[in-house]
Structure 1
Amino acid sequence: MKTELVENSGSLLENHTHITSSFDLSKGSNDGVITKLALDNVLNHSIKGFRKNYLNEKNLNVINGMGVTLGDSIIGINALDCIKKINKNIQITLIRPATCHSYVEEIYSIASNLIDRLEYMPYDIKRLRRDAVNIDIGNQLYWHDFNNLEMHDFFLKNLGVDFESIPDNWKCNYWLKDSLPKDANNKNQYVLFCPKASTSLRSIPERFHYQIIDNLYTSFDLPVHGFSPITHPMYKDISKMCSNTADFIKAIAHAQHVYTCDSSALHVASGYDIPTTCIFTAINPVLRSRYYKNCKSIYIGDEITQNLHESEDPAIIEHVVSRFEAFYEKI
């Protein structure tokens, strides 16, 4: 597939009839004619800016939302929650890529109280109602705003919402505790260690895990649970106990403190007001955790890693390791 299609700031059209995504096309072969999605009844903020007063709208179709990772999805769904707060009666249809990992898709089932209908691509353009607001928000990694706006603001702006008018406390992912309430009978006391992100670039290297776990136990005088195979007398690896997204979220929701990297755990913790320490290696924290009042954000990146979203390049990963070494030597 041509680079201009892979990096298109929006969705694609297959054989001029069905909406698809570069993500889905990258997962399989396709012999059809692929073009950029450009229809007069589909809005795309990266092509032409727009605003919508959702008090006056009845139906919203979001095309190719809200990302292909768990963290992006949590924040994207939060934008839908804001729209529902503006107009509780609006009907929201979400049209998604068909090939995302099941643990990502599970978050959309958890958010069923906010998403009235969930559809998957390829999606026949004839099904798009002309009396609905149809917004393409696909392939956001390649949108200019994605590297310049805080993520909640990015999704709100590109759904036509004046993000500056939205209260800060609407941008904390509180929809999570409404959709998946905490268990009031869970009295376990522990600190949670979540060192893994969707890319090595943002993950905490395993060589530092023992030191971190040891420091957490010393600081909080609580057992440490987490998602690392490291052996420590006061640590429990709960990876096998969290076989699905709901279990992962519950483990975070019941923690006394979360220590993590730039990952979905950060966004889940905010949704339950869990005090969090987050290490950022590449993306400026102001673009991810600006509205998370209980988060201590620590940036250890530099000009080599700045604004990189993913990388498995050995030289870059080794550089990231050196940044962690310099940071943990000071602790």
Structure 2
Amino acid sequence: MQSLRADEALAYPGSLLDTKGRIVAPYDLEQRDAEIGEHVALASQAGILNAAAQPFEVDYSQIAVAHVINGMGVTLGDSIIGLTALAAIRQIYPHVRFVVYRPELAPAYVEQLYALAEGHVASTRSLPWPLADIPREEVRVDLGNQLFWPRFMSLPMIDFFLDALGVPPSSVPSANKANRWLQTLELPSLPEAWRNRPYVLFCPTASTPIRSIATPVRSALVSRLFEQFGFPVIGFGPVDHPQYVDVTAASPGTADFLTWVRHARYVLTADTAAAHIAAGFDVPTTAFFTTVAPELRVRDYPLCRPVTLELPGLSNVQASDREQDMARLNAAYQEAMNSELPFAPLRPASE
């Protein structure tokens, strides 16, 4: 196969192989902002399974070790769902051991999730990694750069990952798609002041401004939460409201973030990572969606009440902070505030 051009390499739906025979993540090349160099598609190599290049199925009943190359993205939400796919497979085939090869320069808070999952769902290795060091006789699945896969924004994310791993999504029960492997993790305790104090959690900030809750309505949403439930509202980042407490300083890492969500009586969020975590711990949630359809993210979460804001022309936009887009976002949230918000029943105090 011919070498990929620099622009082709960065947007290739899969992982890359450099001239030294090492597997490379396109994300790492982009982050280094240096000369890309020569690379070929990893999927061009014999024995590499890449569903974007050629659909396949794997009989995991016959597999001892499966290598997942360049999975499961570089955001916390994508990683939770990708690991859920592995956990769902292991629920059926507990003998399977997964090894996940991660981008070298992925954010530290995302890598903290994989460290927590070590020994529970999968073990991890850091790219670049010599292709020759992954046994040819073992299953080798390329899941790299999934943002550029045609089906990434057309399938529910959990179904996308299962399909990319060679598993028919319909073969996995919905109950196994709700991230409950998170309950197996060893997490820190809450700060003492909050251990026996009920609270609801407000997570307004997503990975990009166009998917975050508009700043002008955040205080009003805190009021809605307090009026609805009567408990203090905690969150991450400043909100000017007398019933709100910013606990950012008490959440230095991903494990702490998981703990705050785990013990919440309710979650209101635009951050899909928070919605995924809440589902894993059976915490009722109201989640706002702007540029992505809620059925692609929270279909399997019975305790989640999605709110879809209409932003014509911005469907499936991955990121934006353009002034005109933010003005439309603010207007959509102002309109939403004129309606009742859908709240699920409060989580019982005994849980």
String of CA shifts for 1:202-241, please: whole Å, max 9, x gaps: 0012211110001110110111111131232211111111
Separation in 2, partners of 1:170, 1:117: 20
Q: 1:115: Cα distance to partner?
A: 4.3
Q: Give the corresponding residue for 1:151.
A: 157
Alignment check: 8 A CA contact 1:282 1:306 kept: yes
Alignment check: 8 A CA contact 2:209 2:319 kept: yes
Distance 1:31-1:226 versus aligned 2 partners, 3 A rule: closer
Alignment check: 8 A CA contact 2:10 2:29 kept: no
Separation in 2, partners of 1:314, 1:14: 39
Q: How does 1:131-170 map to 2 (within 5 A)?
A: 131-170=137-176
Q: 1:15: Cα distance to partner?
A: 1.2
The letter of the residue matching 2:247 is: I
Q: Structure 1 residue 128 and structure 2 residue 128: aligned?
A: no
Q: Give the corresponding residue for 2:332.
A: 323
String of CA shifts for 1:55-93, please: whole Å, max 9, x gaps: 110110000001100000000000110121122121211
The letter of the residue matching 2:236 is: F
Q: Give the corresponding residue for 2:346.
A: none
Alignment check: 8 A CA contact 1:80 1:114 kept: no
Q: Give the corresponding residue for 2:349.
A: none
Separation in 2, partners of 1:26, 1:302: 29
Q: 1:183: Cα distance to partner?
A: 5.8
Q: Give the corresponding residue for 2:304.
A: 295
Q: Give the corresponding residue for 2:202.
A: 193
Structure 1 window deviating more from structure 2 (239-248 vs 22-31): it is 22-31
Q: Which of the residues 19, 22, 29 maps onto 1:18?
A: 22
Q: 1:272: Cα distance to partner?
A: 0.2
How many residue pairs match? The answer is 331
Q: Give the corresponding residue for 2:258.
A: 249
Alignment check: 8 A CA contact 1:16 1:35 kept: no
Q: Give the corresponding residue for 1:217.
A: 226
Q: Give the corresponding residue for 2:57.
A: 51
Q: Give the corresponding residue for 2:293.
A: 284
Q: Which of the residues 240, 258, 261 maps onto 2:249?
A: 240
Structure 1 window deviating more from structure 2 (16-25 vs 107-116): it is 107-116
Q: Give the corresponding residue for 1:62.
A: 68
Structure 1 window deviating more from structure 2 (25-34 vs 75-84): it is 25-34
Q: Give the corresponding residue for 1:9.
A: 13
Separation in 2, partners of 1:274, 1:181: 16
Alignment check: 8 A CA contact 1:182 1:253 kept: no
Separation in 1, partners of 2:68, 2:316: 27
Q: 1:305: Cα distance to partner?
A: 1.6
Separation in 1, partners of 2:99, 2:139: 10
Counterpart of 1:232 in 2: which secondary structure?
Answer: coil
Structure-1-length-normalised TM-score: 0.96
Superposed structure 1 runs of 4+ greater than 6 Å apart: none
Alignment check: 8 A CA contact 2:203 2:271 kept: no
Q: 1:31: Cα distance to partner?
A: 5.5
Counterpart of 1:247 in 2: which secondary structure?
Answer: helix
Separation in 2, partners of 1:227, 1:207: 16
The letter of the residue matching 2:176 is: W
Structure 1 window deviating more from structure 2 (31-40 vs 218-227): it is 31-40
Separation in 1, partners of 2:305, 2:172: 23
Counterpart of 2:222 in 1: which secondary structure?
Answer: helix
Distance 1:30-1:18 versus aligned 2 partners, 3 A rule: farther
Q: 1:35: Cα distance to partner?
A: 2.1
Separation in 1, partners of 2:106, 2:187: 25
The letter of the residue matching 1:6 is: L
Separation in 2, partners of 1:246, 1:195: 19
Alignment check: 8 A CA contact 1:216 1:224 kept: yes
Percent identical residues:
35
Counterpart of 2:264 in 1: which secondary structure?
Answer: coil
Q: Give the corresponding residue for 1:81.
A: 87
Structure 1 window deviating more from structure 2 (174-183 vs 76-85): it is 174-183
